[in-house]
Structure 1
Amino acid sequence: MVFGILFTILWASGAVSVKFGLLSAPPLIMGTIRFLLAGILLLSYIYLFRKGKYRIPKKHEWKPLILLGLFNTSLYLGCGFWALRTVSSGFFNLAVVVNPFLVALLSSFFMNRFIQKKEWMGMCVSAIGLVIATYPLLQEGHATFSGIILLLIGMISMAIGSVYFQKQKLQLPSLVINAWQVLFGGVILIIPSILLELDEPFVFDVNLIIYLVWSVLGISIFAMILWFYLLKQDAIKANIWLFLTPIAGYLLASILLGEEVTIYDVIASLCVFAGLYLSGNLRINRSTKPPVEKNLKVQ
């Protein structure tokens, strides 16, 4: 339970830490530095400190790893970081947990997956929750329409990455897949960050250092290690901790950023959780099936 709570707090802190980083650097440049650092450190751990335990990807596996880096890191987090300029970190964490619904919709188109009635019901209830959360943000100027659109593009990209990952069935450990996709995601962002943000102010100060240390070591590495540990213990419980990140996200945003938690946020969160529960994505009971590792998007 202690590890689960720690993971939830760390994972929820991802969007909050971005807010601190944005005080000193533009989003894409900030993200590029972070992903390259995280990728290099993770791969150093995998192939140097754990030498011989993990194999190098085979020739046919490089293309899927590059595309996963594009969808799960470059587009998802690139758009997400840009969105966080004008969208609250609490809302960002809430929006991320509805990813299973986008995955279900895309799977129905590209993998002929049948969507059950309970899933449609869950989608509708969760969608109502997001509308409840979005409306006051736009009305009160705490978010912009462009920021919401960017966040939506990021969520769709993450869902595409998830469906693509399911179709490819890569025979690599999740840790290796995440390490390579983070590195490739950072490499892909180099040119866009130069073209779009080269003239924007960049200050290498305490805010940026804290963000990089926290996001690389605390989230991209330590939180991932906790996630894999939780998956091995019980995959169902692990996903419940993941779905609880919006609650931790709102609390952290309130304490560290002064973001107000309104009645709309509470109602919206309840609707999203209700939708997840109705759809079967949020299961409270212990599964009798052995846990299966899933691809976790790095924040």
Structure 2
Amino acid sequence: MKTALGLFFALLWSSAAIATKYGLLSTTPLALATSRFLIAGTLLFCYVYLFRRHYRWPRAGEWRPLFVLGLLNTTLYLGATFWALNKVSAGLFNLFVTANPFLVACLSYVWLKRALSIKEWCGMGIAGVGLFIAAWPSIAESEASISGLIVLSLGMISMAVGSVYFKKVQLDLLGVVINTWQIIIGGTVLIPFTYFLEQDTFFLKMDANLFGSLFWLIFIISIGTMVLWFYLLKQDAVKANNWLFMTPIFGYIFAAIFLDEQIASTDIAATALVIFGLFLSGNIVSSKQSLRKLQ
């Protein structure tokens, strides 16, 4: 069960890059990101508090963690990665995504005192090597600005800190409520950054690329996938982040289907290493084990 959910999360999460690429044909990165967050936040708010009405509002002591999560997971992580996609190659971006599980593992070890086994470290290392092999050709053939690398690094660190912080604070709120407020807060904070950073480059084309991109990013990614993400984080922050190792692999497949990009032999070899690394680290378990843990 958990393995199926982890794979489904990785599949959906990797599709966000394809949807973003289409959206960037019609507007600037931060404008696309801000529009996505504000629309998704508004829809979630209406669903949670106007249509369902049985979800409770956050208590006084829960607003601070929600603000921190919104800042880390939405404003900094997603805002930074959207902006950085114009400054670094897709291969380099995929490589940086794979660094997140390592950051979460280290932060969990220090902050949450979560012991990490040798198998977990080895599994993550093997998966990381596989993805480096897949990403290296793109890195070698492309150029990246220093500002892009810095912003992308800050985004990855922000997501890792947000994952561990979420596990540490243990908010007594359902995932859909947490997601609603982190998107609203994060999108609101992103507005002034969008204005100051893109006021000279902003453009907008009201076409199928824009609307299709926003539909997928809002309903499938910001709403559906993030609720699943919080569920996986509540089970285990390290194992949840390890599923990010699969997102570049699915990304190659989506890119071949939707962007007519070729899948190289190095991509196939990397896929084998990633799957073996996930198996070794304990993310891919038998269905019997999963059911026993759920009981």
> Aligned letter for 2:184?
L
> Aligned letter for 2:211?
I
Alpha-carbon distance in structure 2 between the residues aligned to 1:116 and 1:136? 32
Indicate the residue corresponding to 1:182 in structure 2.
183
Alpha-carbon distance in structure 2 between the residues aligned to 1:265 and 1:153? 27
* Structure 2 residue 67 is the aligned partner of structure 1 residue 66: yes
Alpha-carbon distance in structure 1 between the residues aligned to 2:258 and 2:284? 28
What percentage of aligned pairs have identical amino acids? Answer: 48
* Structure 2 residue 116 is the aligned partner of structure 1 residue 115: yes
Question: Over residues 260-286 of structure 1, what are the superposed CA-to-partner deviations in whole Å (9 max), with x where a residue is unaligned?
Answer: 322222223332332222122333443
Question: Over residues 74-118 of structure 1, what are the superposed CA-to-partner deviations in whole Å (9 max), with x where a residue is unaligned?
Answer: 111112212323556577567546643321111112222222211
Q: CA deviation at 1:202?
A: 1.2
Alpha-carbon distance in structure 2 between the residues aligned to 1:175 and 1:243? 25
Q: CA deviation at 1:219?
A: 2.5
Indicate the residue corresponding to 1:296 in structure 2.
none
> Aligned letter for 2:293?
K
* 8 Å Cα contact 1:94/1:269 also seen in 2: no
Alpha-carbon distance in structure 2 between the residues aligned to 1:273 and 1:152? 25
* 8 Å Cα contact 1:69/1:180 also seen in 2: yes
* 8 Å Cα contact 2:37/2:183 also seen in 1: yes
Question: Over residues 231-284 of structure 1, what are the superposed CA-to-partner deviations in whole Å (9 max), with x where a residue is unaligned?
Answer: 7xx99xx97987654443222111212233222222233323322221223334
> Aligned letter for 1:199?
D
Indicate the residue corresponding to 1:165 in structure 2.
166
Structure 1's unaligned 5+ residue stretches are 292-299
> Aligned letter for 1:72?
N
Alpha-carbon distance in structure 2 between the residues aligned to 1:119 and 1:7? 20
Distance 1:90 1:137, change over 3 A: closer
Compute the RMSD of aligned alpha carbons. Answer: 3.1
* 8 Å Cα contact 2:123/2:280 also seen in 1: yes
> Aligned letter for 1:64?
P
* 8 Å Cα contact 1:90/1:249 also seen in 2: no
TM-score under structure 1 length normalisation: 0.81
Distance 1:135 1:222, change over 3 A: closer
Indicate the residue corresponding to 1:283 in structure 2.
285
* 8 Å Cα contact 1:76/1:154 also seen in 2: yes
Indicate the residue corresponding to 1:39 in structure 2.
41
* 8 Å Cα contact 1:95/1:130 also seen in 2: no
* 8 Å Cα contact 2:127/2:245 also seen in 1: no
Distance 1:20 1:33, change over 3 A: same
Distance 1:6 1:159, change over 3 A: closer
Residue aligned with 2:124, SS: helix
Alpha-carbon distance in structure 1 between the residues aligned to 2:127 and 2:43? 37
> Aligned letter for 1:24?
S
TM alignment of 1:84-99, pairs within 5 A: 84-86=85-87, 92=93, 96=97, 99=100
Alpha-carbon distance in structure 1 between the residues aligned to 2:122 and 2:284? 14
Distance 1:259 1:82, change over 3 A: farther
Distance 1:86 1:102, change over 3 A: same
Alpha-carbon distance in structure 2 between the residues aligned to 1:278 and 1:86? 35
> Aligned letter for 1:28?
L
Q: CA deviation at 1:72?
A: 0.9
Distance 1:91 1:254, change over 3 A: farther
> Aligned letter for 1:25?
T
Q: CA deviation at 1:35?
A: 0.4
Distance 1:269 1:144, change over 3 A: farther
Q: Which moved more, 1:192-201 or 1:86-95?
A: 86-95
Q: Which moved more, 1:148-157 or 1:60-69?
A: 148-157
Indicate the residue corresponding to 1:104 in structure 2.
105
* Structure 2 residue 207 is the aligned partner of structure 1 residue 203: no
> Aligned letter for 1:185?
G
Indicate the residue corresponding to 1:297 in structure 2.
none
Question: Over residues 133-162 of structure 1, what are the superposed CA-to-partner deviations in whole Å (9 max), with x where a residue is unaligned?
Answer: 332112122x62645554443222111001
Distance 1:97 1:12, change over 3 A: same
Question: Over residues 171-226 of structure 1, what are the superposed CA-to-partner deviations in whole Å (9 max), with x where a residue is unaligned?
Answer: 0001110111111110111111111111113113212222112211233234456x
Residue aligned with 2:294, SS: coil
* 8 Å Cα contact 1:65/1:181 also seen in 2: yes
Q: CA deviation at 1:289?
A: 1.8
TM-score under structure 2 length normalisation: 0.82
Structure 2's unaligned 5+ residue stretches are none
Matched residues, number: 282
